Amino acid sequence: MRDSFFQPCTVANLQLPTRFVMSAMQDRRPEDLLPSTELAQHYADRIAGGIGLIVTQGTTMDHPTSVSPYARLYPPAYDAWRRCAETVRERGGQIAMQLWHESAMRPGGFSPSGLAFSGATTGEALSTTQIEELIEVYAASAARAKALGFSGVELHGGHGYLLGLFASGTSNKRTDEWGGDTVEARMRFPLAVTRAVRKAVGPDFPILYRISQPSPVTAPKIFRNPGELATNAGALVAAGVDMLDVLAPRFWEPEFEGEDLGLNAWLKRCTGAPVISGGSIGLSHDLMSVLTGGKAFSTAHEGFAELERRFDRGDFDLIALGRPILVDPEFLVKIRAGRFDALKQTYEKDDISSEARTARLAKARQAAPASG
């Protein structure tokens, strides 16, 4: 891989040692909702291995509708999160906290209309009061992340989580001001959140927005054509988003018919904003190719060659890696040296039981203090 990817750069007010990003991954760290010293070291190891920017796993905000068995931004965790941020910055990297509302992805969760991306009923519809509260919770959480020493925040707007569910016509059936027949109407809540976060953190603190389209096996696309994408992504940037974190199943596949442009390249063309590109980078096979029979690269080497070609034509600015660096912190060191035969080919098995997840969620609910 070319050395320029490993050189310092400045993107969206972030001074980065390399162009590589550790994508947000729910790897069930930390235990009991508190970031451990092991998690801080986990992040530090990835910086040492060539990552420039860490995006934390989705961090649950402190609101009654936003309960999860994963990491949480609440008072008992503040010092531990501060330690994570300090550790990454001391190693020369940058770190953004991903603010996350699991919504209808968790059975019984709260969503715009009580529906998942597929349109299936999975939980409860948010009240108008709860929606207004959540806008303020996003803003307060972003301000807290800034105070704890994080380099930026990322709003999770994809994958069937809360912001993405508001944008989708299959999951948002509201007839009030927070819904509507057009994607522009359904984007009012994500835009309100973005504006509130920008006001809370000031003009210079980076805001990232994770954006994706639903999987073709789960729901129709939110943005059905380049025009819809341009209008709504442009509105996000105008509202205060500095960088778009794009995750598609495969970074090389066209998003719309007629041009060889992935979602990453379309967003770059539509907005001019910096773009992080992810989607099976560094993998010879990906989950969606198994499910749908889509094309996958036969080797990691072949995939990186296509990545370089698309970077050269200006499709994106930063490169997100997930599973490869989760299991192997030296993945990039090996890639840079051309040691493709030394890459780890298997992933550690996650053997946490459903009973353990249920117990963790119950503990989270019991431990959750009042917001404030």
Higher-pLDDT residue of 300, 107: 107
Is the pLDDT score of 268 beyond 90? yes
What is the SS3 assignment for the chain? CCHHHHCCEEECCEEECCCEEECCCCCCCCHHHCCCHHHHHHHHHHHHCCCCEEECCCEECCCCCCCCCCCECCHHHHHHHHHHHHHHHHCCCEEEEEEECCHHHCCCCEECCCECCCCCECCEECCHHHHHHHHHHHHHHHHHHHHCCCCEEEEECCCCCHHHHHHCCCCCCCCCCCCCCCHHHHCHHHHHHHHHHHHHHCCCCCEEEEECCCCCCCCCCCCCCHHHHHHHHHHHHHHCCCEEEEECCCCCCCCCCCCCCCHHHHHHHHHCCCEEEECCCCCCCCHHHHHHCCCCCCCHHHHHHHHHHHHHCCCCCEEEECHHHHHCCCHHHHHHCCCHHHCCCCCCCCCCCHHHHHHHHHHHHHHCCCCC
Active site residue 347: no
Domain extents for the chain?
3-367
Is the pLDDT score of 275 beyond 90? yes
Domain 3-367: give its CATH architecture: Alpha-Beta Barrel (3.20)
Instruction: Point out the catalytic residue in the list 43, 70, 138, 161.
Output: 161
The average pLDDT across 73-102 equals 96
The average pLDDT across 152-162 equals 93
The average pLDDT across 39-56 equals 96
Is the pLDDT score of 263 beyond 50? yes
Given this model, what pLDDT does residue 48 score?
96
Is the pLDDT score of 296 beyond 70? no
Q: Dump pLDDT digits (tens) for 190-229.
A: 999 999 999 999 999 999 999 999 877 678 899 999 999 9
